[in-house]
């Protein structure tokens, strides 16, 4: 079976879909599937492709307009027609449309993964432009796709709310697990909390800082790390709030990646994801695999934190966040480590790239060979 994934950008700066798609392709290849990924090179010289594997087909970036109209992309698809199935990642751009177009032309199955782009909050961004794109090609491409991929049940609901009745495979993002990672057994001299992610308003970091401020002296033996970059104006607001409220135990560390980020996460005691809305949140399994309990809002899909007793899945209001932070601050180290062990087990069982790749292989075999429909497909 020969599969082509497509995505408009596979840059280090592109965020979650980049690493998830790359890890999935590696996992599929480990399972014996001949999978490639087609993308465009970064425009900015300061950015770069996530890796240089031979299965990454990175084309010179000739994209025009915000729709990423690329003649190179279309030309490649039309001249490389030996694929059995196409899997497009993301919406509202021409690369996904060109992928759906060539799949239809070749009478091949096409999977489209919206990656959270049909959530109400996402649809509100540049809403009028998306209505036009939807009318011109996006809705038709979605409606005629062989299958759509959601990463969680919440995304499935938003896909249905958009009026789509296709089969939907609910398959989470997978985590590439470093076997050398172990749970840290030594205690920190202070309780170390961290937010990891892009700084924009949907991440709700301002709520976290407000809660931290209201805790007052209760955080005297704690510190809060804000790890990430993004919206410059928003970041400035956060920094000014921390300064004005004398939050001397809050540190803004900026964008950190790779082994440096992994090492830093290994040093924390709790990770916090207070997002208003989150399609998946890769930072959660990335913390759990290192034995770090997570506090996540119900704007994220992480009810597993409660089910597996490895963190908290809480209402997104300041009082609830304050009370949850207090519980974490006062939690015994033994109980924290117990939560960490359960979190690691959860990721190994359900979110490893191997388990995700096996499910994706089942999906592809169903679509291509018309075998029994997998139980994770909803019709």
Q: How confident is the model over 138-188, as pLDDT tens digits? A: 999 999 999 999 999 999 999 999 999 999 999 999 998 887 788 998 999
Q: Average pLDDT for residues 45-61, to the nearest whole number? A: 91
Q: Bridge partners of 313? A: 296
The full set of domain ranges for the chain reads 2-174+352-378, 191-350
pLDDT tops 70 at residue 42 = yes
Check residue 179 and give its pLDDT: 76
Phi and psi (nearest 5°) for 97?
A: -65, -45
pLDDT digits (tens, 9 = 90+) for 195-221: 999 999 999 999 999 999 999 999 999
Q: Average pLDDT for residues 341-346, to the nearest whole number? A: 96
Q: Which SS3 state, helix, strand or coil, does residue 279 take?
A: coil
CATH class of 191-350: alpha beta
Answer whether 0.85 is exceeded by the pTM: yes
Name which of 17, 33, 12 is nearest 360 in CA terms: 33
Average pLDDT of the chain is 95
- 269/128 Cα distance (integer angstroms): 43
pLDDT digits (tens, 9 = 90+) for 62-79: 998 899 999 999 999 999
- 240/139 Cα distance (integer angstroms): 43
- Other beta carbons within 10 angstroms of residue 232's beta carbon come to 9
Check residue 43 and give its pLDDT: 86
Instruction: With beta carbons less than 8 A apart as the criterion, state whether 312 and 296 touch.
Output: yes
- From residue 313, alpha-carbon distances to 201, 205, 306 in Å are 20, 16, 6
pLDDT tops 80 at residue 41 = yes
Within this chain, domains 2-174+352-378 and 191-350 share the same CATH topology: yes
Q: Residue holding tokens 């709790």?
A: 270
Structure tokens at 56: 């990454």
Structure tokens at 152: 């969680």
Fold of 2-174+352-378: Rossmann fold (3.40.50)
Q: Residue holding tokens 């291509």?
A: 368
Which secondary structure element, helix H or strand E, spans residue 377, and what is its range?
strand 377-378
């Amino acid at each position: 079976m020969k599969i082509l994934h497509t995505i408009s950008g596979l840059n280090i700066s592109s965020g979650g879909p980049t690493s998830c798609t790359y890890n999935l392709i590696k996992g599929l290849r480990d399972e014996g599937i001949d999978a490639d990924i087609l993308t465009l090179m970064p425009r900015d010289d300061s950015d770069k492709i996530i890796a240089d594997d031979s299965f990454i087909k990175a084309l010179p970036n000739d994209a025009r307009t915000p729709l990423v109209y690329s003649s190179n992309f279309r030309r490649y698809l039309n001249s490389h027609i030996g694929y059995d199935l196409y899997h497009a990642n993301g919406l509202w751009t021409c690369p996904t449309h060109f992928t759906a177009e060539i799949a239809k032309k070749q009478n091949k199955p096409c999977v489209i993964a919206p990656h959270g782009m049909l959530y109400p909050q996402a649809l509100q961004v540049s809403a009028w432009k998306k209505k036009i794109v939807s009318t011109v090609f996006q809705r038709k491409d979605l409606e005629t796709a062989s299958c759509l991929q959601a990463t969680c049940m919440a995304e499935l609901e938003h896909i249905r709310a958009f009026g789509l009745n296709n089969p939907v495979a609910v398959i989470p993002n997978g985590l590439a697990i470093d076997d050398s990672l172990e749970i840290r057994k030594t205690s920190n001299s202070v309780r170390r909390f961290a937010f990891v992610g892009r700084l924009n308003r949907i991440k709700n970091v301002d709520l976290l800082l407000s809660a931290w401020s209201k805790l007052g002296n209760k955080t005297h033996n704690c510190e809060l790390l804000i790890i990430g970059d993004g919206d410059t104006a928003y970041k400035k607001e956060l920094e000014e709030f921390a300064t004005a409220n004398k939050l001397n135990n809050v540190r803004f560390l900026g964008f950190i990646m790779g082994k440096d980020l992994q090492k830093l996460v290994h040093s924390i005691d709790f990770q916090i994801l207070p997002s208003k809305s989150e399609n998946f949140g890769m930072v959660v399994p990335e913390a759990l695999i290192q034995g770090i309990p997570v506090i996540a809002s119900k704007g994220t899909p992480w009810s597993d934190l409660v089910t597996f007793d490895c963190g908290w899945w809480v209402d997104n209001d300041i009082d609830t966040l304050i009370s949850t932070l207090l519980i974490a601050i006062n939690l015994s180290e033994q109980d924290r480590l117990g939560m960490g062990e359960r979190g690691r087990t959860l990721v190994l069982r359900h979110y490893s790239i191997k388990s995700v790749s096996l499910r994706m292989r089942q999906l592809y075999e169903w679509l291509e060979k018309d075998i029994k429909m997998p139980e994770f497909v909803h019709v």
